[in-house]
Structure formats: structure tokens, C-alpha cells
Amino acid sequence: MKKTLVLFCFIASMQTAFAQSTDSLFLKYSAAKSDSLRYEAILAVYKTYSEGDPLIFLKASEKFLAYCQTNKDKIGESLATSTIGFCYRGLGNTTRSLEYSIKGFEIGIETGNEIALAVAKAILAHCYKDTREYQQSIKYYLAVLEIGERVKNEKIKSMACQNLGEVYLSMNKPDSALMYEQKDFEICKRIGFYDDFGYTLLTLGGIHGKMGNTALAVSYFDMAIEDGLKRNSVKQLNWAYTAKAEFFASIFQRDSSIFYAKRALSVIANTGFTNYKLNAAKLLLDNYRTSNVDSAFKYSEIYRIENDSVFSAKAIQQTQLMTFENEKKQQELIKEKKIAEQHRKQNIQYAIIALGILTFIILFLALSRRHITNTKLIQFLGVVALLLVFEFLNLLLHPFLESITHHSPVLMLLALVCIAALLIPLHHKLEKWATHKLVEKNKAIRLASAKKTIEELEKDNTN
């Protein structure tokens, strides 16, 4: 009883410390002044989360989302929403993970922020990788890689390459996997980025195992395990032990496979990463199926429970539906963006036309006040100015008429006839009034100028 109480207190204290650390990391994000610093803050959050209880991280992420929404920080809202999706992935709820990842992606599109889009697309790719929809996963990882190259962020490129190697390995394409994993290895070595280096090592082990390089494969697995022990990373150790167990199973070394599969299960015992039991339990089930009925039954139960929670038919069906809806939504967003761009260009053109007409009218009025201007020219320019104004009004009214008549030719014709019936008489009246006024004013100016000239000549003759 005493030991249980001590253990409970220890877990509670660890959860409190973790919650405080994530809060401080989110504050670090809020203080970041550039996209690269925001990404560093998010990386720090994920690094802290990777060894903590995903449920606590989920609560902290919800709090961060509320903070961003209150402060109307759309970039932060996208990152927080995607992070919630990442948390659900850690909890083994792929459907909810995909749901929030898609939301984060949609908000990221609204902002147009490259970092927000990179994070959202990466988590979307993780979801598709988990549900074995590898083509979708590759599509999004390649998009993340493009963003990394565009913004010149080596860590984004590293993450994309590492996961692409892993996906191609799962698809049994070791050559493609090796190409991307080698790129990731080189980037990590060049910039000294070792946060996820253990996963790179274990993927390289899997690749060389597929290629038949047994000694090299075991060497990479051992380096991955050593890195996991050094970092005290239970998740990394689980993955490395599982990968090594799978490799030994593939070369029919049954005892070694059982040994490392058990290690993979024991390392995540009493942690929040119960969903990572699946592969190790399946390995043990396969190994014990013909030799130890009791053990086979035990691990079959573990496998059945985890398999039902992660890969049930309902979950996969919902995931496929959400994938379809996401693609449809993306197409609609692209269409809306094009329409908005067209409206923006149209509004700019309207503004330029209005400015041009206004400039023309000002120049026309200035010209009419000059005594050297011909009366016929004033009349002609007056007609042109009025035509421009009335045609511009007609141009502005046209989209409005289309919307209220729903593009009906008959209704459009009737509406235009009614407008013409009002504008044409008004146009003629204004034309006569304006040209008459301006011509008379011009005549007065010319007469005054002529009188002044005569007076000056008479004065000269008198002198």
C-alpha cells in the first residue's frame, strides 16, 4: 500500500511538472517574433511531449488553442489545432487526430503561413501513415519537404525526409527509403540536429534489413537502442526494440525476435503509449502460435484489443470519409481563393477607371477655363465626359443586376431598358446644361481676355 501511494505521488508530481513545462513552452511560442522561432518552440513542445502523458499534453494544447483564439492569433490557432491532432495520435485515436489535423490545415491555408502549413501537413501525413494510406502520406510529406526547401529550414526538411524513408520502407521500397533516409542522416549530421536521430537510425536498420545487409541492419538497430537509452526515451526504445524484433522474425531467429518483442512491450508498460503495443504483441502471437498455446492466447488478446481500437473497420471508414471531405474542402478553398482574386483584380480595375474618369473631368474643367480653348472642343469633351460617367455607372450596376435577375436574359433586358429610360433623358439634360454652362463660361472668359487685350493695345497707342 505504501509503495502504491509513493508511486501515485511520483506520477502526480511528474504530470504537474510536465504541465508546467508545456505551459512555459507555449509562452515561449507566444514571445517568438519570427516563423523560425515559432517552429523551434513547437519542436520543443513535441520533444517534451514525446516522453510525457499525451492526455496532459492534450489539455495543455486545448488551453493554448483558447489563448490563441482569444488573442485572434490565426497562426497560433492553426498550430494549436494541429497539435491537438498530434496528441490524439499519441492516444491512439486516429479518427480524432485526423479531424483536428484537417482543421489545423484549413486554418493554415487561411493564414498562408508556411510554418503553420508545414506542421499541419506533417501531422496529416502521420495520420495517413498510421492508417497505412501511404500514397496520401507521401503526398503530404513531399509538400512539407517543399516548404522546408522554400523557407530554407533544415529541420523541416529533416523531418520530412525521415518520415518519407519510413513510409517507403513500409511499402517495401528500400531503394526510395534509403534515398530519403540518407538525406535525413546527412542533414542531421551537418546541422547537429539529434532530437529524432534515433528514429533515423532504426529506419536505416530496417532498410538495410530489407536489402539483406544483416550486420549493418543490426548495427543501426543497436545504435538506435543506445540513443534511446541515452535519451531515456521509452517511445523510441519501443520502436527500436519492435523494429529489431521484426527483423529477427524475418530472418527466422525466433528466440531473438521474442526477446526484443518482450522488451518493446515492457518498456511502455504503465505509460500513456499503450497503442504502441500492437506490433510487438502481433510478433509474439506469431512466434508463440505453434509452440506455446497459453502465451499465444495472452498476446492474441493484447493484439485484438489494440487492433480493434486502432484499425477497426469503422475507424478506417471514417478516416476515408474525412480524407474525401478534406480533398473536397481543399478544392472549394482553391476555387474560393481564385474567385476572391478575380474580385480583387476587378475592384482594382474599377478604382483605376474611376480615378481615370475623375482625372479626365478635372482636366476638362481646367481646359474649359482657358480662353484659347475652342467651343466645339468643349462641347465634344463634355459629351465624352458624361458618356464615361454614365457608362461607368452602368458597368457598376451590371453585376448587381446579374445577381438579382439570376442571369435571366429576359429580366436583364427589362432591367437595362428601365435603366436606359431613366438615364437617357437625364443624360441629354445634363449634356445640354453642362455644355451650355461651360461654353457660356468659356465665352465669357474669352470675351474678358479679348477686352483686356484691346485695353492694353489702346493704352500702348495712347502712349
Give pLDDT tens digits for 166-185.
999 999 999 999 999 999 99
Tell me how far apart the alpha carbons of residues 61 and 58 are, in angstroms, rounded to a whole number: 5
pLDDT of residue 133: 92
Asked whether residue 362 is assigned to any structural domain, the reply reads: yes
Percent of the chain with pLDDT over 70: 68
Asked whether residue 423 is assigned to any structural domain, the reply reads: yes
Asked whether residue 93 is assigned to any structural domain, the reply reads: no
Per-residue pLDDT reduced to its tens digit, 392-451: 777 777 777 777 777 677 877 787 778 777 767 766 666 666 666 666 666 666 666 666
Asked whether residue 171 is assigned to any structural domain, the reply reads: no
Our CA dihedral for 139, 142, 148, 149, rounded to 10 degrees, sits at -130
Asked whether residue 285 is assigned to any structural domain, the reply reads: no
Computed from CA positions of residues 303, 304, 306, 310, in that sequence, does the dihedral angle turn out positive or negative? positive
Domain membership of residue 357 as a residue range: 330-449
Compute the average pLDDT of residues 322-338.
73
Asked whether residue 169 is assigned to any structural domain, the reply reads: no
Who's near 87: CB < 8 A, 6+ residues apart?
49, 54, 55, 57, 58, 61, 97
Q: Which residue has better confidence, 33 or 357?
A: 357
Q: Identify the band that residue 107 occupies on the pLDDT scale cut at 50, 70 and 90.
A: very high
pLDDT surpassing 60 at residue 257: yes
| CA distances for 412 relative to 350, 416, 424, 447, angstroms | 22, 6, 18, 50
Tell me how far apart the alpha carbons of residues 348 and 351 are, in angstroms, rounded to a whole number: 5
| CA distances for 90 relative to 31, 117, 123, 265, angstroms | 27, 20, 11, 16
pTM above 0.95, yes or no: no
The number of domains in the chain is 1
110 and 133 in contact (C-beta within 8 Å)?
A: no
Lowest mean pLDDT among 104-108, 216-220, 332-336: 332-336
**In the predicted model, what is the mean pLDDT of the chain?**
77
Cell numbers 480615378 label which residue? Answer: 355
Asked whether residue 420 is assigned to any structural domain, the reply reads: yes
Tell me how far apart the alpha carbons of residues 64 and 58 are, in angstroms, rounded to a whole number: 10
Per-residue pLDDT reduced to its tens digit, 137-166: 999 999 999 999 999 999 999 999 999 999
Residue ranges of alpha helices (H) inside 71-153 are: 74-90, 94-111, 114-130, 134-151
Asked whether residue 195 is assigned to any structural domain, the reply reads: no
Tell me how far apart the alpha carbons of residues 54 and 399 are, in angstroms, rounded to a whole number: 53
